[in-house]
Amino acid sequence: MRPLLVVGVSPALAAWAVAQSGHEQPYWQRFRLPDMAHDNAMSACSAHYPDCRVVVSGNSGCVAIATTGSQWGVAWAGSQPRADDAAMRICDGLNAGPCTIEHQFCGR
């Protein structure tokens, strides 16, 4: 399993984007500008999958990424517990095995 492509988190990196192909491994980036986060997440994902899209992006709220080890669910919400719950529901709905939260972060 490849590790998620992640840029270090700092307050200066307020914008974020998560790109994914289906329910394959997501790629997320944090940058100062939303367009940069979007473009870099897409570039990282497209290097591995031909049909990537940004599944969540923004500069506030929280993101959670849940996985079975082979399939991933990504969700955004206004709080970390709500993002975690939503990502777990998406992952559980894939019926690919038990899910756990692998990554989570909040903007501003």
Across the chain, mean pLDDT equals 85
Identify whether 24 is part of a domain. yes
Identify whether 5 is part of a domain. no
Q: What is the pLDDT of residue 51?
A: 92
State which residues form the domain around 31.
Answer: 15-106
The sign of the torsion formed by the CA atoms of 77, 66, 104, 81 equals positive
Average pLDDT over residues 65-93: 95
DSSP helix/strand/coil, 36:
helix
Number of independent structural domains in the chain: 1
User: pTM here?
Assistant: 0.80
Identify whether 58 is part of a domain. yes
Q: What is the pLDDT of residue 80?
A: 95
Identify whether 90 is part of a domain. yes
pLDDT digits (tens, 9 = 90+) for 27-73: 888 888 888 889 999 999 999 998 999 999 988 889 999 999 999 99
Identify whether 1 is part of a domain. no
Identify whether 2 is part of a domain. no
Identify whether 4 is part of a domain. no
